[in-house]
Amino acid sequence: MTIVLVHGNPETEAIWDDLVPLLSDQIIVRLCPPGFGSTVRPGFDCSVDAYLSWLVGELGKLARPIDLVGHDWGGGHVMRVAMDYPALIRSSATDMLGAFDPDYVWHDLAQVWQTPQVGEQAVAQMVSMPAEALARRYEGLGMTAAIARKVAAAANGDMGRAILALYRSAVQPIIRDLGAGLPRAAAKPGLALIATEDRYCGGETLTRRCAERAGANIAVLEGAVIGGCVSSQSKVLTRSIRSWQS
C-alpha cells in the first residue's frame, strides 16, 4: 500500500521529515501543492477546485491502495477527495475537518488574507521577512528548528499569491457549503485528527461534529497546535496512522 502525504499553508513537504522515518516500512509519497514548495504552472489559479483537480490527477498516477493523509489545507484537499472521489483511496486522515462545519468561522489571519489590499500587504511582509525570523515564528507553532528553517526558506512570491487565491476561493459560505458533502466521505474509512491547542480549524467540538457526519474515527493529539502537530507529534501521529490502517 502507499501512504500519500499532502501538506498545507504556508508549508513545504519538509513538515513530514520527522514522520517519514517512522513509517519506513511503508511506501511514502509526499505531494507538494503548487505554490507551497512547488512551481505554479501557467493557468493554475490556486483555488480550492484547482487543488482538488491537481490532487485527483496526482493520485491517479500512483499505485493503489492509497491511504491519504493531509495536514492543514492539505487536509482540506484530502477531504474533498474523500467526499467526491472515494474510489481513488483506501482511507483518509485530516486535521482540518472542523473547517467544514456550518458554524466554522475563518480565523483572524485567514480573514486578513481574504481582504483585498490588506491580504497583499500581509503576504508581502511574510515573504520579505528574513528567513531566520520567519523560522523562529514557525518554531513558535511547534515545528522543530530544522524543519522551520526549511519551510521558511521556501517563502516567496508564488507562495504569497497561492495563499491569497486559496483563501479567497474558500471565503464563507463556500467552505461551509462544501461540507454538505461530508456524508459521502463515509464511503471509505476516515480519521479525524484533533490538535487540542488548535486555533485555526474549528477546535474539538466542530471536528467531532464533522467526524460524525463523515463516519470518521477520531485521534486526539494532546498539546498540539495545527501548525506544528506533524513536526512536534510525529510519534503520536504515527501510532494513530498505524491504528487507523489496521
Residues 149-200 have pLDDT tens digits of 999 999 999 999 999 999 999 999 999 999 999 999 999 999 999 988 888 8
SS3 assignment, position 4? strand
- The amino acid that residue 57 corresponds to is G
| Residues in contact with 43: Cβ distance below 8 Å, sequence separation at least 6, in sequence order | none
pLDDT bin (cut points 50, 70, 90) of residue 49 is very high
Q: What is the pLDDT of residue 24?
A: 76
Q: How far apart are CA 171 and CA 152, in angstroms?
A: 26
Q: How far apart are CA 54 and CA 59, in angstroms?
A: 9
Q: Which domain holds residue 213?
A: 2-245
pLDDT bin (cut points 50, 70, 90) of residue 140 is confident
Domain count, the chain: 1
Q: How far apart are CA 242 and CA 189, in angstroms?
A: 13
Q: What is the pLDDT of residue 246?
A: 57
| Residue that has been written with the C-alpha cell 519506513 in this structure | 24
pLDDT bin (cut points 50, 70, 90) of residue 141 is confident
Q: How far apart are CA 101 and CA 119, in angstroms?
A: 24
| Assigned C-alpha cell, 93 | 486522515
Q: Are 213 and 183 in contact (CB under 8 A)?
A: yes
pLDDT, averaged across the chain: 92
| Residues in contact with 225: Cβ distance below 8 Å, sequence separation at least 6, in sequence order | 141, 142, 195, 197, 198, 199
pLDDT bin (cut points 50, 70, 90) of residue 222 is confident
Q: What is the DSSP letter of 156?
A: -
Q: How far apart are CA 230 and CA 208, in angstroms?
A: 20
| Assigned C-alpha cell, 68 | 491519504
Q: Are 88 and 52 in contact (CB under 8 A)?
A: no
pLDDT bin (cut points 50, 70, 90) of residue 62 is very high
Q: What is the pLDDT of residue 25?
A: 74
Position with higher pLDDT, 184 vs 231: 184
Q: Is 150 left (phi over 0), alpha (psi -120 to 50) or beta?
A: alpha
Rounded to an integer, the average pLDDT of 36-61 is 97
pLDDT bin (cut points 50, 70, 90) of residue 119 is very high
Least confident of 40-49, 156-165, 195-204, 230-239: 230-239
| Residue that has been written with the C-alpha cell 521577512 in this structure | 129
CB atoms near residue 49 (< 10 Å): 12
| Assigned C-alpha cell, 152 | 521558511
The pLDDT of residue 2 is above 80: yes
Q: Give the side-chain half-sphere CA count within 13 A for 131.
A: 12
- The amino acid that residue 61 corresponds to is K
| Assigned C-alpha cell, 79 | 477531504
**Angle at 192 (CA atoms; ends 190, 198), nearest 5 degrees:** 160
Least confident of 34-43, 114-123, 138-147, 230-239: 230-239
Give the CATH number, domain containing residue 180.
Answer: 3.40.50.1820
Position with higher pLDDT, 222 vs 25: 222
Q: How far apart are CA 184 and CA 187, in angstroms?
A: 6
